[in-house]
Amino acid sequence: MNTQHVTHQPSPRGLVPVERRLTASTSAFCDCRLSLRESNASFAERKATLNPSVIVAVLLILFVTAFFVNDVSATEPSGAKRPNFLIVLCDDLGYGDLACYGHPRIKSPNIDHFVTESMKLTNCYAAASNCSPARTGLMTGRTPHRVGIHNWIPTYSPMHVRRSEITIATLLRNAGYNTCQVGKWHLNGMFNLPPQPQPSDHGFDHWFATQNNALPTHHNPDNFARNGKWVGKLEGYSAHLVAAEAIDWLKNKRDKSKPFFLYTCFHEPHEPINSDPKYKSLYEAPEGSTLPNHHGNVTQMDDAFGRLMRTVDELKLRDNTLVVFTSDNGPAITGRHPHGSAGPLRDKKGYMYEGGIRVPGIIRWPGHTKPGQVSDEPVCGVDLLPTLCEIAGIPVPQDRAIDGTSFLPIFDDKPIQRKTPLYWQFNAARGKPKVCMRIGDWKILATLTGETIKPYGDIRVHDQQNLRTAELDSFELYNLNADIAEATERSQQEPQRLKAMSQQLRKMYREIRGESPVWPAWKWPRYEGKRIQAYYRAQAKIQQQN
């Protein structure tokens, strides 16, 4: 028996050995483990010369170990006492896309009300500037490049969150939580296909999901699967379909003897956008403008969020449920939908500047967060896993780098003491910088040597080689407290800070690059794009006929 060993064996339920769950229990127990390890070594070496006193000592240690194992299991908080976790993740909702974050037109009454009951984060970050990597960071507590999620994952791509990764859902399920994921998954290419792990393999008891976007649009999507079975064409709009499933699970399907972890991933307002006319009609715009569709899409999500929150109240779950509302990256702002907003931040989705990564973040946990409380402390998606682990009494995995830090101190208006700085990397990022790091008010960004990787879904051999060999090249430095728009580059005025931060960034970059896996070459079939284009062509034809 080696109590330090943590296995990497793949398992549908992941692995949290009892030994690991005990690591934070008592120092006395740690001492005991050490003694046991030493005793085992001695036992192996001296088994031919065992005497009764050694046997008694070993049995005594085993008894004490067993006592602590049982004791820790017995003293784990009971299901009823541990808080529930409800994570609500939007898709491409920018920092400025809600009324409560300053948008002048978008109507988001449910979220605006929710923020009055909650803590509002002004420095909340996604773990990346686009979908799959950001969701990877949220689920694993690890910076996504480390995990090998280098970019968004197209349908059928070999890129995926491997079985060897341990998600927060797996940790919570192993600790007795009932877990559910609804909406956009986007942690694999071969969604609902055998070669890659599915939501159930990454910790979810119940799931109702799409690989990426709701297709062909948010209206009447036909690409959902529920617990491994395709469900066919659905009627309605994605946000309400996703909320309805979450509500049904909360009311009728979950195991009410257990606390729950519900991960609700709305598709809105990611393209291909399609909003119910009742939400579009709330916005006046010139004929032909896509603004009502985009703004109405945020309102559509807001309405579904409101339904979900009302259910939490109806079921009297509010007081014992920690709710986190956030987004996976900044606004897309595309030719078809140029209406998203990053507020005062620079650039948008796909960039390393703040518009790509800083997002709305609202947390409600009655008795812990205060209504109307505002925190300016930087918090990131990778912090979710260590935070929920701390609340649930589960030690974070010790056999791998966890980049996030528990954000519990902010509930008491205290700063987060980070061992690992906030870090982002996207080799195919738009704009020049591909890597960045934030420490306190300061942010450093770096370009990379070598050929720029195109932000497409192909996996090319030389791109994979480039991921392994590119080095940090030139740097930019900003003080985000004084300059939220990243308008004034400060490296000339701060040479010492630039030197220290660039050295730290280089060290972290190389360590992460060394861990990141390489994927096989793969040609992107553009399956989703073809489906979406076919839908638009069919719609245009219908309009012509009318």
Residues near Ca ion (CB under 5 A): 91-92, 131, 328-329
Q: Cβ closer to Ca ion: 84 or 223?
A: 223
Buried b (16+ CB within 10 A) or exposed e, 502-527: beebeebbeebbeebeebeebebeee
Q: Cβ closer to Ca ion: 21 or 339?
A: 339
- CB of 460: closest distance to Ca ion in angstroms? 23
- CB of 329: closest distance to Ca ion in angstroms? 5
Q: Cβ closer to Ca ion: 132 or 178?
A: 132
Contacts 24+ apart (CB under 8 A), 459-465: 459/157, 459/158, 459/159, 459/519, 459/520, 459/521, 459/522, 459/524, 460/521, 461/521, 463/427, 464/518, 464/519, 464/521
- CB of 59: closest distance to Ca ion in angstroms? 57
**Straight-line distance from the first to the last Cα atom of the chain, in angstroms, rounded to the nearest whole number:** 75
Going by the DSSP 8-state scheme, the letter that residue 379 receives in this structure is: E
Q: Cβ closer to Ca ion: 326 or 329?
A: 329
- CB of 130: closest distance to Ca ion in angstroms? 6
- d(C-alpha 499, C-alpha 364), whole Å: 39
Question: Which ranges of 288-383 would DSSP assign to H, the alpha helix?
Answer: 291-314, 354-357
- CB of 266: closest distance to Ca ion in angstroms? 11
- CB of 338: closest distance to Ca ion in angstroms? 17
Tell me the chain's radius of gyration from C-alpha atoms: 24
Residues 6+ apart with CB under 8 A from 194: none
Exposure on the CB side of residue 274, measured as CA atoms within 13 A? 18
- d(C-alpha 359, C-alpha 485), whole Å: 14
Q: Cβ closer to Ca ion: 213 or 464?
A: 213
User: CA torsion 27→78→73→164, rounded to 10°?
Assistant: -90
Q: Cβ closer to Ca ion: 192 or 329?
A: 329
- CB of 330: closest distance to Ca ion in angstroms? 9
Largest Cα–Cα separation, the chain: 95
- d(C-alpha 114, C-alpha 108), whole Å: 10
- CB of 526: closest distance to Ca ion in angstroms? 18
CB 407 within 8 A of CB 379: yes
Q: Cβ closer to Ca ion: 212 or 387?
A: 212
Q: Which residue has the tokens 């006319």?
A: 277
- CB of 110: closest distance to Ca ion in angstroms? 21
Interhelix angle 238-248/291-314, nearest 10 degrees = 10
Cα angle at 183 between 335 and 94, to 5 degrees?
40
Q: Cβ closer to Ca ion: 91 or 403?
A: 91
- Residue whose CB is nearest to Ca ion in the complex, by number: 131
Q: Cβ closer to Ca ion: 263 or 478?
A: 263
